[in-house]
């Protein structure tokens, strides 16, 4: 009887170990949905492209898609917004892939305007457009050119220019009526010319919003995404209710 009990115990223990290992492997495979933007989570950009091939875009497999966001932002160097104690100096530690990916997911799944924000950013930020995408083009030189045309030449940069901020006092001085025409820019053009026109429009409208709110202008963006990551039509009405001027990620 004792040998039988030992055998049953050994078999039970072995089964429990196998179950534990299976559950552990499944948990390890799940993305880390941290609420902090400096912690990597979700799918990587290229994984997203593989999971959603041909999702309405025209990008080729070897294309470069740049994703960016422009926001009206009240941060200043010495300002610590609630509910987090971040300052502008902290953005050097941000993971842009985390931010772009999480906000894209929020926009894709939003059921109400309050669902469009993460980390409490809506308490000190505002925006007119979802995450924007441009194909085979880095919009930063053109955006800086457009800012200079409106009288803004000073901005602070982090992460080799992937993040930059224009202080509220400089936004207040901007001449919105002298916005640069995309056609006047002698720099490189995107694969789809309408992407450049959209960049000019989003910049102008975000600056207009920031100026009216007495806030600064925050930009962040990077390449490595997928042009087919469009906002689903079912959630575009939510973006309109939130006051967005644009409800798609490219024209």
Residue 241's nearest CA partner among 107, 132, 112 is: 112
Structure-block tokens of residue 14: 């072995």
Measured between alpha carbons, how far is 251 from 242 in angstroms, rounded to an integer? 19
Distances (CA, A) of 18 to 5, 65, 66: 20, 43, 44
pTM listed for this prediction: 0.74
Which residues pair with residue 72 across a beta bridge?
126, 217
Contacts of 14 (CB under 8 A, 6+ apart): none
**Residue 205, pLDDT score:** 96
Do 179 and 205 meet the contact criterion of CB atoms below 8 Å apart?
Answer: no
Tens-digit pLDDT string for the chain (251 aa):
566 665 656 666 665 655 454 444 433 333 333 344 443 333 333 333 333 333 333 434 455 899 999 999 987 554 444 544 556 667 777 888 999 999 999 999 999 999 999 888 898 899 999 999 999 999 999 999 999 999 998 898 999 999 999 999 999 999 988 666 777 777 889 999 999 999 999 999 999 999 999 999 999 999 999 999 999 999 999 999 999 999 999 99
Do 124 and 130 meet the contact criterion of CB atoms below 8 Å apart?
Answer: no
**Residue 166, pLDDT score:** 94
The H or E element that residue 135 is part of is strand 132-135
Residue 118's nearest CA partner among 204, 42, 223 is: 42
**Residue 60, pLDDT score:** 41
Tracing tokens 């502008």 back to the chain, one arrives at 88
**Residue 147, pLDDT score:** 94
Measured between alpha carbons, how far is 68 from 75 in angstroms, rounded to an integer? 19
Measured between alpha carbons, how far is 12 from 29 in angstroms, rounded to an integer? 26
**Residue 123, pLDDT score:** 86
**Residue 120, pLDDT score:** 84
């Amino acid at each position: 009887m004792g040998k039988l009990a030992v055998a049953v115990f050994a078999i039970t223990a072995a089964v429990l170990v196998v179950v534990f290992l299976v559950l552990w492997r499944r948990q390890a495979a799940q993305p880390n949905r941290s609420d902090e933007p400096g912690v990597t989570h979700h799918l990587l950009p290229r994984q997203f492209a593989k999971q959603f091939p041909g999702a309405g875009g025209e990008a080729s497999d070897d294309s470069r898609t740049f994703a960016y966001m422009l926001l009206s932002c009240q941060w200043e160097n010495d300002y610590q917004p609630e509910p987090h104690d971040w300052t502008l100096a902290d953005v050097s530690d941000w993971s842009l892939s985390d931010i772009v990916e999480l906000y894209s997911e929020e926009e894709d799944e939003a059921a109400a305007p309050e669902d469009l924000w993460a980390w409490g950013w809506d308490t000190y930020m505002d925006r007119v457009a979802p995450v924007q995408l441009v194909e085979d083009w880095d919009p930063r030189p053109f955006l800086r050119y457009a800012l200079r045309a409106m009288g803004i030449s000073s901005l602070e940069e982090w992460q080799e220019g992937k993040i930059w901020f224009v202080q509220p006092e400089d936004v207040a001085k901007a001449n919105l009526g002298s916005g640069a025409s995309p056609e006047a820019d002698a720099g490189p053009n995107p694969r789809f010319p309408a992407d450049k026109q959209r960049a000019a429009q989003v910049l102008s409208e975000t600056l207009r919003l920031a100026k009216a709110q007495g806030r600064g202008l925050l930009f962040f963006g990077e390449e490595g995404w997928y042009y087919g990551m469009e906002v689903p039509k079912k959630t575009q009405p939510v973006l309109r209710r939130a006051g967005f001027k644009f409800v798609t990620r490219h024209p």
